[in-house]
Amino acid sequence: MQSIPHFSVCRDDKKFHAWPDVAMAQSGRLICVFTECIAHNKLGGDTVIFHVKSDDRGRTWSNKQPLVPALFKTEHRDPCWNCARITALEDGRLVILVDRLAGGWEGNEPGGEQNILMFFSSDEGESWSPPVNTPMHGMVPDQLIELRQGVHAGRWLVTSHTIENVTKENELWKQRLWYSDDQGKTWTGPQLVAAQKGLKFCEGSILELPSGELICFMRENSCLGLDAFRSISRDCGETWEGVYPFALPGCHRPVAGMLQSGKVLITYRFAPGSGAQNLLAAITDPASCLALKRADGRIRIRPLDYDRHPVSDLGYTGWVEFPDREIYAVNYIMDDAPKAQIRGYSFREEDF
């Protein structure tokens, strides 16, 4: 199997860089956003959201620039920046979503904070607006999804998760969604995407199929190596059915999207238990995404990277596809660094 070329997006051996995402502006410029902190748990140091730019298809990247002022976290009640996602909108603007968390168990305990803010750029990431407050509440938001077809073309969707009753045996993990039909001026929600006692749904990724259905792929966080799960919407995100298993065992943080070929790409980390060392990518098709039975899905999976670090930490990704069908993905990984770094990867559908 041919190896996947990888590139350094951002590395600083004194800082922990993690949870990246990437978008492609109209000119072809790539903009990558990520979190800088002291360690995965963020306690005892600054958290900052940074962005970097590339005008040569991700081979080299600019110096990092802050999107927000640093938040210093010494106790769980202190706020921190968590996970940024970026989307290229149809009108040429870029939008970044960031969840700001405070309180115990990442803001899920009573009185905690899980606010989602938006930042806009009209000049391909050269400058950004002040934060725009939203009524959305949750952690690890998906990219802002802009529907491209049907009666609600142009609708914005955002999904995130939260946990109820975190100190009790009956805790319930909820994947929820908000939608806007006026470009974020007002929002409807939360709509329940998925919740099931005994399963921990989180880190949803919404895929719009050519036939109009929406699929929300979700991580199951019991550390048992369970499949990815799906919920399906047939009315542009207003209601959801399911959940259904999808044959990606140990699937953490799926990131799904349509390729120009009509196939579906999902990048994710493989977590068979409480640890993870492998970054994987899967190719499937719309019919498999809609199939209600696990066995009816057709999937090809290949590795993108392996984390050699004794205390491995990797696997939050973002990706884009260039007009010539080159796919470029970003990921955070420890590997040969003392702290996490951001890497880029170039591959094609034919590599599967």
- Map out the domains of the chain as residue ranges: 6-351
Instruction: Give the per-residue pLDDT at 44.
Output: 85
Instruction: Give the per-residue pLDDT at 288.
Output: 98
Look at the chain and count its residues: 352
Give yes or no for a contact between 226 and 249, defined as CB atoms under 8 angstroms apart. Answer: yes
Q: Is the pTM of this model over 0.95?
A: yes
> Tens digit of pLDDT per residue, the chain (352 long)?
678 999 999 999 999 999 999 999 999 999 999 999 999 999 889 999 999 999 999 999 999 999 999 999 999 899 999 999 999 999 999 999 999 999 999 999 999 999 999 999 999 999 999 999 999 999 999 999 999 999 999 999 999 999 998 877 889 999 999 999 999 999 999 999 999 999 999 999 999 999 999 999 999 999 999 999 999 999 999 999 999 999 999 999 999 999 999 999 999 999 999 889 999 999 999 999 999 999 999 999 999 999 999 999 999 999 999 999 999 999 999 999 999 999 999 999 999 9
Residue 167 tokens, joined: 């100190």
Give yes or no for a contact between 207 and 214, defined as CB atoms under 8 angstroms apart. Answer: yes
Instruction: Give the per-residue pLDDT at 166.
Output: 84
3-state secondary structure 206-240: EEECCCCCEEEEEEECCCCCCEEEEEEECCCCCCC
Q: Which residues pair with 6 in a beta bridge?
A: 345
Whole-angstrom distance, CA of residue 48 vs CA of residue 44: 13
Classify 290 as helix, strand or coil.
Answer: helix
Enter the CATH code of domain 6-351. 2.120.10.10
Instruction: Give the per-residue pLDDT at 1.
Output: 66
- In sequence order, the 6+-apart residues with CB closer than 8 A to the CB of 26 are 88, 92, 124
Whole-angstrom distance, CA of residue 212 vs CA of residue 147: 9
β-bridge pairing 145-146 and 201-208: unpaired
Q: Tell me, what DSSP letter sits at residue 139?
A: B
Torsion angle (degrees, nearest 10) of CA 138, 141, 144, 147: -80
> Measured between alpha carbons, how far is residue 324 from residues 57, 89, 285, 327 in Å?
12, 20, 20, 9
